[in-house]
Amino acid sequence: MIMEKKSILEYETVELDTKENELVIIDQTKLPGNIEIIRLKTAEEIWNAIYLLKVRGAPAIGVAAAMGLYVLAGSIKTDSYVMFYEKFEEYKDYLNSARPTAVNLSWALSRMDRLVRSMKDSAIPDILKALEKEAQNIKKEDIAVCRAIGEYGLSLVKRGDGILTHCNAGQLATCKYGTATAPIYLGHERGYGFKVFADETRPLLQGARLTAFELQSAGIDVTLICDNMSATVMKQGKVNAVFVGCDRVAANGDTANKIGTSVVATVAKYYNVPVYVCAPTSTIDLNTPDGEHINIEVRPDSEITEMWYKERMAPEGIKVYNPAFDVTDHSLITGIITENGIAYEPYTDSLRKLKQ
């Protein structure tokens, strides 16, 4: 349903309606024109919401997956643990197939799965109660994690600084504060007077549709720029730091984030602008040695050729390559900000310590 207009920050990105046994999210594909709240209860609805980016951003995907799996678990009609777990595992694996790059998806689903396996001698109603609590805890932890990232990030900048961000690692990508925007929100609350540049972030325009929208709604001084303008504002001295989120951190510090992030980081390196990746420790994947081993999602051609246009903007039959993410080499990253502190080179050591 379409809601009355109020600040986008007043809505919950992801929430659980336990009375109706439904996952409730903002349909982010309709922003900024319409704030539409949708309610999901079938496996197909939840899978499609994740795949079609109705809910997106690594932390928010994790929370939605956990809550969605609880909703699906509640639909399983059996008193047998064996039969319950068989169907539960089927739902878990299905949801996990929606997005391959963001590690928070599999992390949250695995956390729910471990809980169920630990309760094999319990009654199904007790398992469901525990699953609901775990899903709500994942959401609460996300809010606390984002605030902690914000505090650490804020320590790296000063009042009046210019900050550039790419894609949307804001409140719409989490449950509150965001990751890359958390220092911006906390600084705004404390009168830091940041001047923020938001890359439009082609082809899905998360920077234009989401980051610019939510920062403007918060009363933050934000300027939207095309992706290929980042070098210009850096050369002009308007950017003092780059804050970006990420969907997976490899053990060596390589990070996968929305396509174009590696370009921003490369340009920033040239202009001596520090680049900080804001990542919950749940996003750190020590089992992935480096960026070469990160599975990069390739999305439909239509996102480039026609999705956001009234008329098709590319010739029929043109070959299209549409990777959703790129890998930023660890050598381009000044620091990786987590809720447990800031990791610096050598990342193979510092990330492992913060992950513990």
CA dihedral 187, 189, 190, 193 (to 10 degrees): 60
Catalytic residues: 247
User: Between these two residues, 64 and 2, which has the higher pLDDT value?
Assistant: 64
For 148, the token pair is 């902690």
pLDDT in tens, 222-245: 999 999 999 999 999 999 999 999
Say what the pLDDT of residue 356 is: 78
- Common-topology check for domains 8-145 and 147-355: no
Question: 285 by DSSP, 3-state: which?
Answer: strand
Helices (H), 180-319: 182-189, 206, 212-217, 230-235, 261-270, 302-305
Please enumerate in sequence order all residues whose Cβ is within 8 A of that of 317, keeping only pairs 6 or more positions apart, or say none: none
Say what the pLDDT of residue 6 is: 83
Sequence spans of domains, the chain: 8-145, 147-355
pLDDT in tens, 243-256: 999 999 999 999 99
Helix or strand run (H / E) with residue 186: helix 182-189
Confidence grade of residue 30 (pLDDT, cut at 50, 70, 90) = very high
Please enumerate in sequence order all residues whose Cβ is within 8 A of that of 137, keeping only pairs 6 or more positions apart, or say none: none
Give just the sign of the alpha carbon dihedral 293, 299, 303, 304.
positive
- pTM of the predicted structure, to 2 decimals: 0.95
Residue of 323, 332, 322, 272 whose CA lies nearest to 302: 322
Say what the pLDDT of residue 290 is: 98
Instruction: Please check whether residue 84 is in contact with residue 124, taking contact to mean a CB–CB distance below 8 angstroms.
Output: yes
User: What's the whole-number mean pLDDT along residues 342-355?
Assistant: 97
142 conformational bin, left if phi > 0, alpha if psi -120 to 50, beta if neither: alpha
Say what the pLDDT of residue 1 is: 53
pLDDT in tens, 312-334: 999 999 999 999 999 999 999 99
Angle at 60 between CA 118 and CA 133, to 5 degrees: 35
Class of domain 8-145: mainly alpha
**Alpha carbons 20 and 9: distance in angstroms, whole number:** 24
Say what the pLDDT of residue 5 is: 63
Say what the pLDDT of residue 71 is: 98
Say what the pLDDT of residue 234 is: 98
What is the rounded average pLDDT for all residues in the chain?
Answer: 96
The residue behind tokens 């319990």 is 122
**In the chain, what percentage of residues exceed pLDDT 70?**
99
User: What's the whole-number mean pLDDT along residues 58-62?
Assistant: 96
The yes or no reply on domain 147-355 and CATH 3.30.70.360 is: no
Say what the pLDDT of residue 250 is: 98
pLDDT in tens, 169-216: 999 999 999 999 999 999 999 999 999 999 999 999 999 999 999 999
Residue of 343, 217, 297 whose CA lies nearest to 56: 297
pLDDT in tens, 100-142: 888 899 999 999 999 999 999 999 999 999 999 999 999 999 9
Question: 39 by DSSP, 3-state: which?
Answer: strand
The residue behind tokens 């199904």 is 124
Residue of 125, 163, 305 whose CA lies nearest to 242: 163
